[in-house]
Every structure is written in structure tokens, then in C-alpha cells.
Amino acid sequence: QVQLVESGGGLVETGGSLRLSCRASGRIFSIDVMGWYRQTPGEERELVASINGERRTNYGDSVKGRFTISRDNAKHTIYLQMDSLKREDTAIYYCHTNNLLYYSGDRLQNAFDTWGQGTQVTVSA
């Protein structure tokens, strides 16, 4: 009844920029932490950046100073502005939320540990 819908991935040259978006769809009441993770073949999924309802942010060491996460609570959407992209940023990027409250009928329900379908980011030489 709720899902995370990502957009904005694609192919970009080294040093370029991309902006990812993730919107929570459904009858959303509130969302706790939202974030972006990424994964390459054979590797574990790693945190890129996260942001809570008060817009407190956390970044993975490899993206600090280059990526910026932001949030529009009214639209239940987060954004990831990625600048100075490197080849090693190539990955599938997944949106995630740890706890989301939504209406099911007239009742509030929790959705824990929700993931988007992923969007491919490819940085070429």
C-alpha cells in the first residue's frame, strides 16, 4: 500500500552531476529516516546518505563534500544531489526508509524497512 519511487539515474561523465529523487507514495502520515544506499555486483549495500524528519543528515565517508541529501516533508520526497561524480560512484542506488506511518482504511499502520526498486547510476571515464 506504500512504495518508494525513485527517479533521476542515468549515465554521466566523470566530474558531472546527477540528481536523484525518491517519493513515498500512498496515504502517508509521517516518515522517520529516509536515505539512499548503493550497491555494486558482489558488494554489500552501503549507506550513501540519510536524513531524518528534522533534516539531520548523515553521509558515507566516500561521498562527503560531494553529495547533498535534502527532504521535502510535504511531498514525502527526498533528493540526492550528486556532484563531482567519480567512476567509483557507479552503482544501483536504492531509496530506503526505516519507519513509515500510513493510513490503511482509517487505521494507521507502520511500514518498517521499506526499499525502492533501485535506479542505475553510471559514471563514465
1 pLDDT exceeds 90? Answer: no
Share of residues in the chain with pLDDT > 90 (%): 98
pLDDT digits 0-9 by tens, 69-103: 999 999 999 999 999 999 999 999 999 999 999 99
pLDDT digits 0-9 by tens, 25-49: 999 999 999 999 999 999 999 999 9
Q: What is the mean pLDDT of residues 52-73?
A: 97
Report how far residue 55's alpha carbon sits from residue 49's, in angstroms, rounded to the nearest whole number. Answer: 12
Instruction: Give the phi and the psi of residue 63 in degrees, each rounded to 5.
Output: -115, -5
